[in-house]
Chain A
Amino acid sequence: MEKIPNQKAWLLVLPVFAIVAFSAVIPLMTVVNYSVQDTFGNNKFFWNGVGWYQELLDPSTELGGRFFASLWRNLAFSGAVLAIQIPLGIIVALAMPREGWGVAFSLVVLALPLLIPWNVVGTIWQIFGRSDIGLMGWGLNRLGFDYNYVANPIDAWLTIIIMDVWHWSSLVALLCYAGLKSIPEAYYQAASIDGASRWAVFTAIQLPKMRHVLVIAILLRFMDSFMIYTEPFVVTGGGPGNSTTFLSIELVKLALGQFDLGKAAAMSIVYMLIIIIVCWVFFTVMTNAGADRKGAGGER
């Protein structure tokens, strides 16, 4: 559909622009402002230039060391949850019933974890994983595994990854299910006339049709897992040691715990830039790949 050039459309966008500018630009300017200044208290600020950034990006300093450690941890975490959730979500979506009472039931159960407040998600898993009062922790210990997420970093990581899979796989599944539902029945009939295998149906029909929702799912999951704060904070508090201290936890420690405004602000800016760049690159690559296929014919 061709869009009509019309500058008056700005009037329609104005309320959104005003509210988002109020709650995004003003705080962001504060952050930028802090990131180039230093303070010795008493609300007196001194120009510090790019000092904080230099310190932040140099792994040999204390700040840089903390930043890079939590950055790698967070990247590993995001990679792990994406690698589990995307295939799992696709499989669950493929396994969903197409009609009958099972659809409504499955949708409600799938959506349930998504609507639980994040700290309650943390609480649920904190309880569930405890070896004294939690079903999972107690069961694992009964089966002979020495499982204790409070003391053992590997157990802590496993707990947090399983928790995130529990919490968010449904989102991927729901999105993929929506993508699958939009495939006309005629496609399947054509495939069965051609004698296509199950795998061929998946790669030639279902996967291309899900591409659009998969882009959304991967973007949302990357962003949210990269910003994760509340759930690991409740379950492990970033420990044992620093083994589950992800970027947001480190940042809140700096900003609200130590009130190290300059360092926290510099870290905020770098943190946001990483997310925006990754998402932009991914989005551009995926949409360009889509445009190429569209040009070659057939897509959509």
Chain B
Amino acid sequence: MMYAIPGRHAILALFLIFLLLPIYWLVNMSFKTNVEITSTMTLWPERPTFDNYRVIFTDASWYSGYINSLKYVVINTILSISVALPAAYAFSRYRFMGDKHLFFWLLSNRMAPAAVFALPFFNLYSAIGLFDTPWAVALAHCLFNIPLAVWILEGFISSVPREIDETAFLDGYSFPRFFVKILMPLIASGIGVAAFFCFMFSWVELLLARTLTSVNAKPIAATMTRTVSAAGMDWGVLAAAGTLTILPGAIVIWYVRNYIARGFALGRV
């Protein structure tokens, strides 16, 4: 087979082990007691315990962090995709005044460091009364997710032949009906890929999420800094909280895995 490179199984296996090893260590630690963590080096919990997880699921200040994070991630994903779809269609099909500049300007926001925007966002959202709500974080994350969604969707829409639009309009479809009934099913995997990326970048971002919230909408990532207490680090709970933040991502990947392989190949990303 022309495709094979020498030693490919070994290379892939080594790389996957390299990826899994730190995660294994975190999960391993989350089932240990703090005494076992600090006193001995065990590759497997000697006395597996769920106490660390029990702390998280019974303490509202812990589990509400997860709910807060999921809230703004979902709002952001829905918002980004629904405004990016028509825009991507416009960029893909039409030439209009300033289109190229607008496109580059949009993408340039993807390049803006979050650190630059932290302070102005804080002022802005405090001024309009959205500070410490999921909406503030969701809107702030639109800054980099909308450009990305437009970029991905534009590639997918461009791969749909224009004859399909024209036929639909000749058949008497109105624009919104054509968009929902014909175009969106055709680019379903593209919408899946774009949603995946929006979910991913909103879920993993911390700097803005932490700056724009204080108590009510505090994301789980910020809650995790609490484990440093006067009695020292609570490593077990920290590891359990970390393990739980990996789960939503793992679930999303599992559901979109076939989409991703197909979607990656079809579109531009």
Please list the residues of chain A having a beta carbon within 8 angstroms of any beta carbon in chain B: 1, 3-10, 12-13, 15-17, 19-20, 22-24, 26-28, 30-31, 88, 91-92, 94-98, 103-104, 106-120, 123-125, 127-128, 132-136, 138, 166, 169-170, 174-175, 177-178, 181-182, 188, 191-192, 196, 198, 201, 212-213, 216, 223, 226-227, 229-230, 247-248, 251-252, 255-256, 261, 264, 268, 271-272, 275-276, 279-280
Contacts and interface: CB of A to CB of B under 8 A. Distances in A.
Nearest to A223: B111
Contacts of B184: none
Given A19-B146, A30-B120, A198-B5, A107 B94 contact: no
List the 8 shortest-distance A-B pairs measured between CB atoms, nearest first. A115-B249, A27-B120, A178-B264, A9-B94, A95-B8, A12-B90, A9-B90, A12-B86
Interface of B: 2-3, 5-6, 8-9, 11-12, 15-16, 18-23, 25-26, 29, 37-38, 41, 79, 83-84, 86-87, 89-91, 93-97, 99, 102, 104, 106, 108-121, 123-124, 139-140, 142-143, 146-147, 150, 158, 162, 200, 203-207, 211, 220-221, 224-225, 235, 238-239, 242, 245-246, 248-250, 252-254, 257-258, 260-261, 264-265, 268-269
B239 A127 contact: yes
Contacts of A248: 113-115, 207
Contacts of A119: 206, 221, 224-225
Contacts of B106: 16, 20
Given A104-B257, A279-B111, A128 B22 contact: yes
Contacts of B95: 3-6, 9
A271 B246 contact: no
Contacts of B257: 104, 107-108, 111
A135 B25 contact: yes
Given A31-B120, A252-B207, 15 more contacts: A3-B93, A9-B93, A9-B96, A10-B96, A13-B86, A23-B139, A23-B142, A97-B12, A111-B249, A117-B205, A119-B206, A136-B22, A271-B113, A272-B116, A279-B108
26 contacts: A16-B150, A17-B102, A19-B139, A23-B121, A26-B120, A30-B120, A95-B11, A97-B12, A104-B261, A112-B246, A113-B19, A115-B246, A115-B252, A117-B203, A119-B221, A123-B224, A133-B38, A133-B41, A174-B260, A212-B268, A213-B269, A247-B115, A252-B118, A255-B119, A268-B113, A272-B111
Contacts of A192: 2
B139 A22 contact: yes
Q: Which of B21, B117, B119 has the most CB of A within 10 A?
A: B119
Contacts, number: 280
Given A10-B96, A16-B106, A252 B115 contact: yes
Contacts of A216: 268-269
B264 A10 contact: no
Nearest to A23: B143
Contacts of B250: 108, 112, 115
A112 B253 contact: yes
A223 B147 CA distance: 14
A194 B217 CA distance: 63
Identify which of A27, A166, A181 gathers the most chain B CB atoms within 10 Å of its CB: A27
Nearest to B119: A255
A101 to B, nearest CB: 11
Given A19-B83, A229-B114, A251-B113, A120 B224 contact: yes
Contacts of A8: 96
Contacts of B121: 23, 27
B25 A174 contact: no
A137 to B, nearest CB: 11
B203 A115 contact: yes
Given A103-B261, A115-B246, A230-B207, A27 B117 contact: yes
Nearest to A29: B120
B12 A127 contact: no
B265 A5 contact: no
Contact of B143 (A24, A117, A226): A24
Nearest to A107: B257
B12 A96 contact: yes
A135 B40 CA distance: 11
B197 to A, nearest CB: 10
Contacts of B94: 3-6, 9
Contacts of A10: 90, 96-97
Nearest to B120: A27
Given A94-B8, A135-B25, A188 B2 contact: yes
B2 A92 contact: no
Given A6-B95, A107-B261, A275-B111, A91 B5 contact: yes
